[in-house]
Amino acid sequence: MATKQKLFMDACKKKFKEEPTDISTKYYCFGGWKQSKSKVEFQKTAEAIAKKRGIPMLNEDIGVPLGQRSWMPYQLSHTDIYAEADDLHCVNNTAIQQAWDDIRRTVLVGLDSPHQTIERRLGKEVTPETINAYLETVNHTMPGGAVVQEHMAEINPALAYDSYVKVYSGDDELIDEIDPRFVIDINKLFPKDQAEQLKKAIGKTLMQAVRVPTICGRIMDGATTSRHAAMQISMAFISSYKLAAGEAAIADFAYSAKHLSINMGTMMPARRARGPNEPGGIPFGFMADMAQSDRVHPDDPGRAALEAVALGAAVFDQVYLGGYMSGGVGFTQYATAAYTDNILEDYVYYAIDQIKSKYGGFCKLDPKDLDKLMKLGDDINAYALEMYERYPAIMEAHFGGSQRATVSAAATGVAGAMATGVADCGLNCWYLSMLQHKERTGRLGFYGFDLQDQCGSANSFAYRSDEGLPMEVRGPNYPNYAMNVGHLSGYTGIPKAAHAARGDAWTANPFVRVAFADPALVFDFANVTKEIGRGALREFQPAGERSAVIKG
Amino acid sequence: MAYKRQFYPGNSVPAKNRRRYMDPKVKLKKLRDVPMDDVVRIMGHRNPGEDYKSIHPPIEEGKEPECPIRKLVVPIEGAKHGDRVRYIQFTDSVYFAPISPYQRAWMYLSRYRGVDTGTLSGRQIIEVRERNLEIMAKEMIDNETFDPALTGIRGATVHGHACRLDENGLMFDGWQRYQWDAKKKEVVYVKDQVAIPLDRKISVGKPAAAADLKKRTTIFRADGVDMRDDKEVTMYGLRIHKLRTLGGYQPWAFKE
């Protein structure tokens, strides 16, 4: 067992006054909810609202007496930020909302097909100059500007300052000719080896990263993104290439924008009641590509996996399952366990040490050697569970078994993925962790959670479409994952871990990868926990606010 | 040859306890005798002496449809009388509580008929017809699977199983349904399962010593018996995972 300083120690000492190894403490003597600054604030606010509206509101004295234990803050992992749990709730945290907003308002629309239409069908020339003119026009239309009809209502730019269109390509010569204000520069944003991989994969395709206004996604839903983009792109083509608004070729622009585009999420079945570009349709590999840690910290695959876990926790578990599956409150503590207090951090870096010292390093374990893979999984899972047993402080920090199950399985899954370079091996280790966890402790998570985790070994390598998929393209709507609250964080981290360990520049899609490297995004996808922490400290400035059209 | 139930692998103390608790032929040790009326009070479904509420007429009075399964299955007493289905729910501390949620489910299903169990990380609910429930509940509170300090009887607000213990060694309970009686050195319930105050305190006895709990527990822990020190339990866990993995992928590859 590793003896070096545990990464969760600082958080433990901040949370509890006792030693992290102490089993005993005091309860029922801390003044209840009044220990919490945010609860005091909430109570005061609610009292004022109740008085004003004449209807009772939040009352911290209703229900179970809160604050019977010492109120504990949460450290945003690999940052120095501590926050109250309330400030990590997705309704209270503008950074979490913006992470989701930035994903939902993105659609990737290729320019190759429209350029072919212009050149071959209409006989007009497409040059870097015309592309620049188009980009200037589309950056007028996308936030809500009109170009074709003379008497047109437009969107107030103060509401849509976050909306724009940029392009990128693997063709350096073409990119050199494009106005840099409109370019996501792969060479500047990625380490050289990653840039070369990405450019090779993207080739000469010229791709647009379209960001519709955050406020549009909030008013409508993710399905509006490609429609908003298609309309405004078509208008920009008409204007910049001087086309006839009614000619049949224009339909090709709209068609390509709607149907040859890459949505961040695929449409979900009607029973889920969500259109395209909603979180339930985002493959884990796409979410892993959105997380950008390995772009700025290429030598730290551990951080890459952990940041992907954090993004998955916030968007999939808190925003999506927290709303679609449950609603109300309750998922915050569950999901945030994966990205607070450096507990998963400790387990993941322990796993990395073990992979390097006992398994030959990253990607050296033969993925076909199931016995050795299981040995690794057993080692990492035993370490994770032992830490909970040796340090009652972290056992109490993760006071729900579902938290411990997710975090232990995530560490074990990340280990399997990094050791082999294969995400499905990581997934197999996830399920090994779940079975062993239940057997060791006699407990795991909650009913529905347990069912799925106890049958998952059998589908971890299945590629038949009704039974399984490569982990990179599974997603929250994969049959057994639709109720797996808390798991979707780990499921995002596992494919990321495999590809980060391999030194791959992307996990599932190079176009998605580059699109989220864009520094013009409101949320910084290279520093997920830090951004969520800024949200918790109420320092994060989100887009999509309506104050520009509210007097006073 | 008739199949002989083996219940659970392993030779460690937790593994043996798992077998013992599951095996209906093993009579569990009775460590206390909480009066039935007090068990009824703690559960809070009815007042002692009050009639059982029924949700259907006694089966004998009803007209049951012709059904071979109904002929095969003898109804339990509560079902015969049309009792409501009610529950008792136990929370088991990670700190060497005698039993933990999964073993509870296995034990209940092995020892009783007509029960519906639900297993979570900290708590285990068992639902059954009311008059049968009361008999079961008393058995479970009186026997060796219950410890006054580390086992909680909780309908709602159940968390606490993973929290550290208070200065008297009691598991945390947000509702403080039970308290430490320093004079008698016993645990007393002052609220029922859903935290409605009781008319009087109900003693459930003295907590066991740590050494005793380690002999009774079913929980593998690094500071007790580590699961990996029980080779047979570990081997079976790995084997199940391997069989399931290969069974879902390439069953022909498994040669053992």
Chain A residues within 8 A of B176 when measuring between CB atoms? 28, 68
Give how far B30 is from chain A: nearest CA, Å. 23
Q: Do B248 and A435 touch (CB under 8 A)?
A: no
CB-CB contact of A498 with A417 (8 Å): yes
Helix (H) or strand (E) holding B130: helix B130-142
What pLDDT shows up at residue A251?
87
- Write the CB contacts of A171 (distance below 8 Å, at least 6 apart in sequence): A199, A203, A204, A206
pLDDT in tens, A247-271: 888 888 888 888 889 999 998 887 7
B72 at A interface, C-beta within 8 A: no
Chain B residues within 8 A of A448 when measuring between CB atoms? none
- Write the CB contacts of A109 (distance below 8 Å, at least 6 apart in sequence): A207, A208, A210, A229, A230, A233, A256, A257, A260, A261, A262
- Which residue has tokens 């889920």? A272
A174 at B interface, C-beta within 8 A: no
Give the rounded percent of residues in chain B with a pLDDT score beyond 90.
Answer: 91
State the pLDDT confidence band at A520, using cuts at 50, 70 and 90: very high
Indicate the DSSP class of residue A261: E
Task: Measure the CA dihedral A514/A518/A522/A523, to 10°.
Answer: 50
Pairing of the two strands B178-181 and B186-191: antiparallel
CA nearest to A424 within chain B: B245
- Tokens coding A549: 């059209």
Q: At A12, phi and psi to the nearest 5?
A: -60, -45
Q: Which of B162, B195, B248 shows the shortest C-beta gap to A399?
A: B162
Q: Which of A25, A432, A457 shows the shortest C-beta gap to B164?
A: A25
Give the rounded percent of residues in chain A with a pLDDT score beyond 70.
Answer: 98
Give how far B64 is from chain A: nearest CA, Å. 33
Residue A1 has pLDDT above 70, yes or no: no
d(CA A457, CA A142): 46
Instruction: Give the count of alpha carbons within 13 A of B207, CB side only.
Output: 27
State the pLDDT confidence band at B198, using cuts at 50, 70 and 90: very high
Residue A389 has pLDDT above 70, yes or no: yes
What string of DSSP letters covers B66-124? P-HHHHHSPPPHHHHHTBPEEEEEEEE-TTT-S--HHHHHHHHHHH-SS-EEEE-SSEE
A436 at B interface, C-beta within 8 A: yes
3-state secondary structure of B22: helix
Residue B100 has pLDDT above 80, yes or no: yes
Q: Do B99 and A18 touch (CB under 8 A)?
A: no
Q: At what angle do helices A487-502 and A423-441 cross, to 10 degrees?
A: 140
Residues B213, B215, B220, B224: is their CA dihedral positive or negative? positive
d(CA A401, CA A445): 5
What pLDDT shows up at residue B204?
98
- Tokens coding B221: 């822990």
Chain B residues within 8 A of A382 when measuring between CB atoms? 226-228
- ipTM for this model: 0.96
Lowest mean pLDDT among A244-253, A291-300, A385-394, A419-428: A244-253
What pLDDT shows up at residue A452?
82
d(CA A315, CA A536): 16
pLDDT in tens, A224-238: 999 999 999 999 999
From the number of C-beta atoms within 10 Å of its C-beta (0-12, 13-18, 19+), residue A232 rates as buried
Instruction: Give the count of alpha carbons within 13 A of A57, CB side only.
Output: 13
pLDDT in tens, A88-146: 999 999 999 999 999 999 999 999 999 999 999 999 999 999 999 999 999 999 999 99
State the pLDDT confidence band at A243, using cuts at 50, 70 and 90: very high
Residue A336 has pLDDT above 80, yes or no: yes
Q: Do B166 and A68 touch (CB under 8 A)?
A: no
Mean pLDDT of A314-328: 85
A:B CB pairs within 8 Å: 157
d(CA A32, CA A39): 10
- B 5-44 residues with CB below 8 A of A? none
State the pLDDT confidence band at A465, using cuts at 50, 70 and 90: low
Q: Would you give the distance in Å from CA A33 to the centre of its chain?
A: 32
CB-CB contact of A519 with A539 (8 Å): no
- Which residue has tokens 């280990």? A415
What pLDDT shows up at residue A272?
75
Q: Do B166 and A438 touch (CB under 8 A)?
A: no
Give how far B224 is from chain A: nearest CA, Å. 10
- B 187-246 residues with CB below 8 A of A? 195, 218-223, 226-228, 233-234, 237-238, 240-242, 244-246
Residue B162: name the closest of A26, A450, A401 by CA: A401
d(CA A267, CA A466): 17
Residue positions of A annotated with a catalytic role = 149, 334, 448, 484
Q: Which of B100, B118, B238 shows the shortest C-beta gap to A447?
A: B118
Interface test with A, best of B234, B249, B254 (most A CBs within 10 A): B249
Residue A328 has pLDDT above 80, yes or no: no
CB-CB contact of A75 with A10 (8 Å): yes
What pLDDT shows up at residue B253?
74
Give how far A135 is from chain B: nearest CA, Å. 49
Q: Which of B220, B226, B244 shows the shortest C-beta gap to A457?
A: B244
Q: CB count, 10 Å around CB of A119? A: 12
Chain B residues within 8 A of A385 when measuring between CB atoms? 222
- Tokens coding A531: 């951004």
What string of DSSP letters covers A40-102? HHHHHHHHHHHHHHSS----TTSSS-S-SSPP--EEBTTSS-EE-GGGGSTTT-HHHHHHHHH
Residue A473 has pLDDT above 80, yes or no: yes
CA nearest to B160 within chain A: A399
Pairing of the two strands B123-129 and B85-92: antiparallel
Chain A residues within 8 A of B103 when measuring between CB atoms? 442
Interface test with A, best of B241, B242, B252, B256 (most A CBs within 10 A): B241
d(CA A256, CA A245): 16
Q: Do A457 and B241 touch (CB under 8 A)?
A: yes
CB-CB contact of A301 with A451 (8 Å): no
From the number of C-beta atoms within 10 Å of its C-beta (0-12, 13-18, 19+), residue B224 rates as middle
Q: Which of A27, A385, A446 shows the shortest C-beta gap to B121?
A: A446
Give the rounded percent of residues in chain A with a pLDDT score beyond 90.
Answer: 84
Q: At A281, phi and psi to the nearest 5?
A: -100, 5
B105 at A interface, C-beta within 8 A: no
pLDDT in tens, A526-549: 999 999 999 999 999 999 999 999
What pLDDT shows up at residue A448?
63
The letter for the amino acid at A62 is I
Q: Considering only residues A273 and A345, tell me which one the structure prediction assigns the higher pLDDT.
A: A345
- Tokens coding A292: 């950008």
Residue A525: name the closest of A510, A514, A509 by CA: A514
Residue A313 has pLDDT above 70, yes or no: yes
